[in-house]
Amino acid sequence: MTDGFHLVLDGLKLNGVETLYALPGIPITDLTRMAQREGLRVISFRHEQHAGNAAAAAGFLTGKPGICLTVSAPGFLNGLTALANATTNCFPMILISGSSEREIVDLQQGDYEEMDQLAIAKPLCKAAFRVLHAADIGVAIARAIRSAVSGRPGGVYLDLPAKLFSQTMDAAAGKASLIKVVDPAPRQLPAPDAVQRALALLRGAKRPLILLGKGAAYARADDEIRALVEKTGIPYLPMSMAKGLLPDTHSQSAAAARSYVLEQADVVMLVGARLNWLLSHGKGKTWGAAHGPKQFIQIDISPTEMDSNVAIAAPLVGDIGSCVAALNAGIAAGNWAKPPADWTGAIAERKDKNQSKMEATLAANPSPMNFHSALNVVRKIIKARPDAILVNEGANTLDFARSIVDMYEPRKRIDVGTWGIMGIGMGFSVAAAVETGKPVIAVCGDSAFGFSGMEVETICRYKLPVCVVVFNNNGVYKGTDVNAAGGDVAPTVFVKGARYDLMMQAFGGVGVTAATPAELDAAMKEAIASGNPTLINAIIDETAGTESGRITGLNPTAGVKK
Ligand code: ADP
Ligand code: TZD
């Protein structure tokens, strides 16, 4: 005989799942124990949101759905933020939650942790399934995996009521009921006429631009994308998580002339990037409305992404690997002329000017440190260890790191993503360490770090090579706000001079304070060389930075006297 517990584990193992990001409790405690016994790795967290974020990051980093396992109602809800965030970011993950008895939940008779979890999860993920019979577990796992990774990736919810786990069935029939998913993320070839339309538009461009998004990083078409950029000679801009797809030091990177190229380009090819708020919806001043209309080519696996904000003249629907390969074949077949020299020359000129300005700012050594002088250290550390993974959250800490810290390899930068969500820091760091075995550097604002700070215990418990650098400027954005009415401190201000380093020490990790770039450099080098869990409390000038970083204008009261 077999039972629900074993069928769940066997179904996951059959599909190559190796790690569960979990938090035990009724009714899944035994499932986590059995999982360990069956050879799965169980990474047990202190709060489900971080287990969920870890599963989401694992999904992005590996292309396979990361699995998060939680208890019912409150545990499920804690994991739900991560599931919704994964779906928003197009990361594949599966949230598996135990749930209470259907008969009692549906009659609202007040079961232990009663909640209609399936109904609540549905609008927040790509697909949601509930399993009532042990014989259906195999089908449910197969559908969950396929839903998470096929087409546009996203989050999937799997509801497993407590009673399911102890249901028994014949072992041979149970084994036969499991499904090994064949080709879970099938290639989707673009239509030949759509390829020709895109090529024609690109060929006629005077000021072309390629925009690489995190979909391009996720697609693992690194060589094809590099070939496309280099064969066409078109300047490109990476979105934050597409940094490193080509090294940021690449001569065709237009990142240091971002506003100029967005404003001036006449044909823009989006590769796995949406025209959402992060790209000013493709219109307005940022996009040089005054310089005439632009034409867009968009490569995306989701057909309904097209025309979401502006007209897409050449939609190219398919997986990025197949689409870019088709473009490369078309380019190789014809006589391809590089973009006009006045375009690339004008970009180079602006890049040089902006880069020299940046070098001068980075060279300054103010006391206390500011974002620039501290990030200059991180920049050099990543240059020396391009295989390290950079996790990044905060406001100013995020914006400045994105522009200052060059990335050299694909999928080495994971951050706040489409929602600009705080709290991904430690969950993402745990997954990055577990899934890749590489050193992880988490650069977090002090507010951002606070959302997941308790997971430093998890990092210590599993002895993960994570170096957390908390940019401590005493508050949300800055530490200088004053409550005009007196009394309590202002809502954005924290305890001054907080010792985040002691949090890591509390669990046996290394905790250090760094007040200068030299101290930060030494502490980071030591952390990476030793692989020991480390938290560096980097003291940053509390007057540095701006409210909300670069998106200060999104505050509804921007410009209003407060
Ligand atoms: P960014 O924030 O970096 O601009 P987005 O998350 O907005 O990126 O966009 C990612 C896009 O990539 C989504 O529209 C998604 O449908 C698409 N995408 C994800 N994976 C693939 C893939 N393998 N092939 C094609 N498109 C993909
Ligand atoms: N809650 C969640 C889940 N996500 C958010 N983005 C916010 C609140 C609002 N918020 C931001 O957008 S940035 C930020 C908050 C609270 C923190 C900024 O302070 P910090 O970073 O200390 O992390 P800097 O670098 O000092 O600006």
CATH no. of 192-349? 3.40.50.1220
Question: 102-137: b or e for each residue (b if 16 or more CB lie within 10 Å)?
Answer: beebeeeeebebbbebbeebeebbbbbbbbeebbbb
pLDDT tens digits for 419-459?
999 999 999 999 999 999 999 999 999 999 999 999 999 99
Provide the pLDDT for residue 48: 98
Q: Where are the beta strands (DSSP E) in 181-306?
A: 208-212, 236-238, 267-271, 295-300
Is residue 85 lining ligand 2, measured as CB closer than 6 Å? Answer: no
Q: Of all protein residues, whose CA lies closest to atom 16 belonging to ligand 1? A: 152
Q: How far is the CA of 195 from the centre of ligand 2 (A)?
A: 41
Q: Which residues of the chain have pLDDT under 70?
A: 559, 561-562
Q: What is the pTM assigned to this prediction?
A: 0.98
Residue in the block written with tokens 């080509």: 246
Question: 509-538: b or e for each residue (b if 16 or more CB lie within 10 Å)?
Answer: bbbbbbebbebbbebbbebbeeebbbbbbb
Atom of ligand 2 nearest to the CA of 449: 23
Q: Which residue in 61, 15, 63 sits closest to 40, CA to CA?
A: 15
Q: How far is the CA of 396 from the centre of ligand 2 (A)?
A: 9
Is residue 469 lining ligand 2, measured as CB closer than 6 Å? Answer: no
Superfamily designation of domain 364-552? Thiamin diphosphate (ThDP)-binding fold, Pyr/PP domains (3.40.50.970)
Yes or no: say if 466 and 427 are a contact pair by the CB < 8 Å rule: no
Ligand 1 pocket list (CB less than 6 A) = 89-90, 152-153, 213-215, 218-219, 239, 241-242, 272-274, 276, 278, 300-302, 305, 319-320, 418
Considering the chain, what percentage of its residues have pLDDT values greater than 90? 95
Q: How far is the CA of 305 from the centre of ligand 1 (A)?
A: 10
Q: Of all protein residues, whose CA lies closest to atom 21 belonging to ligand 1? A: 215
Second CATH level (architecture) for the domain 2-177: 3-Layer(aba) Sandwich (3.40)
Provide the pLDDT for residue 299: 99
Provide the pLDDT for residue 550: 84
Q: How far is the CA of 547 from the centre of ligand 2 (A)?
A: 10
558: left (phi over 0), alpha (psi -120 to 50) or beta: beta
Provide the pLDDT for residue 155: 98
192-349 and 364-552 share one fold: yes
Q: Which residue in 467, 451, 506 sits closest to 49, CA to CA?
A: 451
Provide the pLDDT for residue 562: 64
Q: How far is the CA of 336 from the centre of ligand 2 (A)?
A: 46
With the most atoms of ligand 1 within 8 angstroms of its CB, the residue from 243, 302, 327 to mutate is 302
d(CA 75, CA 54): 15
Q: Where are the domains of the chain?
A: 2-177, 192-349, 364-552
With the most atoms of ligand 1 within 8 angstroms of its CB, the residue from 237, 301, 304 to mutate is 301
Say how far residue 249 (Cα) sits from the centre of its chain. Answer: 22
* Encoded tokens for 523: 């502490």
Q: Which residue in 236, 229, 234, 239 sits closest to 279, CA to CA?
A: 239
Provide the pLDDT for residue 268: 98
